[in-house]
A and B are shown apart, each in its own frame.
Chain A
């Protein structure tokens, strides 16, 4: 008997290996020394993430590697999303350490779970085989459920985690069902093979392949929080510890979008005429619902949850314009995901910072923040302006390039609708700014020491403003990643 082993090029996996090893070491350290002083566990995690980041940057320069019998590909696309995910993870660790300490939920396991989730996210965006992709999605989801319920003495945290878990399992099943249909029809789990099969529209299997496509869009639509698959989002985002919300609203969304873009553009490029309109519909209702319901929220955390739904809508707009001859729509999504890291993590980060000061996250708590903590108030204002798409922040470019994608694809009306909706969105972002800057402070705040958090927020702030000026490399990288000019 002769066994042929799949070719394994470990170079493609170095970042993931670094993360897994860190997670294991952390687990062992936790067992041996469960109560280490200072921020040891966080720093260890950061070290692992930094190593992974460096390794990814090394990969960025080299040629694409396809390995594990074509189920894994480290190409520009994967590297781009890996960078986004790692950036989000690193920021998350910075934001989390002080929060966990001050809220007495400081089990070091937090970081192990976070690292496992990161590995799952990287797997989702690097997979070129639908089974590997599903594995990645699950490896990302399960830790996220755990993190959502991490504040285990908080009833809302438990509630959010439970809902997220049940619905997440449900949607995973739908996704898997779609992938299985795709396999059943095309006879392969490899994305390139599926693409070859559907190149001519699928022939007589067309109804079945469309069913598979819709199931996949539904399953991943849940992960990116697209309406009407979004119902878990407000509860989970609000219930989860704020630092976790920051992490999953950015990294989880980026990974799910990575998987969605990869699947749709690499496995189903021939059907872009079918899934494009579906995404148009989803994007419109997602933008509308997310941004309109956000207007009436009094809890800023919940408002940002709805705003996150709205941003999913904006990103879907970009993706919906993709076609094999006009790939810029996908680039606009990648670009969006990158910029979103700094703005959204910054915004949630400030909320966490406030909680560290014994404050809450409702508008009342933000009243007059400017006079008590001008730096925090200014930062939050910058992050919110970024999310709004205001000039002088990186947020402007996210909207500009999604709009450009729509204009290039002949969907200008959709782009204009998007701009109109983002003008509406200004209402709720500005309301926070108004409350911070114009109202009398109602509640006093303490001021504990939180060095790592301040570093994380500073990085987010520098990113939000700095990338307004220096966004060109990111855009070029995103274009290269989706095969423009290659």
Chain B
């Protein structure tokens, strides 16, 4: 089990760091709350209504598509970097990946997932 001591130490440091920084700011910073300051921070927009509210379904489709192509980009960067090493093999692999995504993309497009109106 001795292999795991570094991990335990890591946990201790993480928690310690968080507690220390929060504690220090509590000690050092002045604390004068008012109504505006106590409001939930929501990207600078005044929070209105219930927290449990419905979002437009399109929000989710957009978010999902974004994540999807984000991941594609994440894969593409390292692929591009080592492209000269992996050669035709890597090319075919990535082609398959893109074809798969493309089919799904075409589907989403035709189904109106990108239609923001």
Contact = CB atoms under 8 A, between A and B. Distances in A.
Interface of A: 1-3, 5, 24, 27-28, 30-31, 204-205, 208
B48 interface: no
Contact of B107 (A1, A31, A208): A31
Contacts of A24: 99-100, 103
20 contacts: A1-B82, A1-B85, A2-B85, A3-B82, A3-B85, A5-B86, A5-B89, A24-B99, A24-B103, A27-B104, A27-B106, A27-B107, A28-B103, A28-B106, A28-B107, A30-B107, A31-B106, A204-B1, A205-B1, A208-B1
B61 to A, nearest CB: 14
A231 to B, nearest CB: 24
B37 interface: no
A72 B11 CA distance: 36
Contacts of B89: 5
A24 B105 CA distance: 12
Contacts of A204: 1
Given A27-B103, A27-B104, A27-B107, 8 more contacts: A1-B82, A2-B85, A27-B106, A28-B103, A30-B107, A31-B106, A31-B111, A204-B1
Contacts of A208: 1
Contacts of B106: 27-28, 31
Interface of B: 1, 82, 85-86, 89, 99-100, 103-104, 106-107, 110-111
Nearest to B86: A3
A30 B1 CA distance: 55
Contacts of B82: 1, 3
A249 B67 CA distance: 32
Contacts of A5: 86, 89
A346 B111 CA distance: 35
Nearest 10 CB-CB pairs, A to B?
A: A31-B110, A24-B103, A27-B107, A3-B85, A31-B107, A1-B85, A27-B103, A31-B106, A3-B86, A5-B89
Nearest to A5: B89
Nearest to B106: A31
Nearest to A208: B1
A27 B111 CA distance: 11
A140 B24 CA distance: 49
Contacts of B110: 31
A5 B92 CA distance: 13
A1 B85 CA distance: 7
Contacts of B104: 27
Nearest to B108: A31
A28 B102 CA distance: 10
B20 to A, nearest CB: 29
B4 to A, nearest CB: 8
Contacts of A2: 85
A253 to B, nearest CB: 28
A205 B2 CA distance: 10
A482 to B, nearest CB: 34
Most buried by B among A1, A30, A31: A31
A1 B82 CA distance: 10
B42 to A, nearest CB: 25
Contacts of A27: 103-104, 106-107
Nearest to A184: B4
A2 B112 CA distance: 45
A384 to B, nearest CB: 41
A204 B100 CA distance: 46
Contacts of B86: 3, 5
Contacts of A30: 107
A9 to B, nearest CB: 15
Contacts of B99: 24
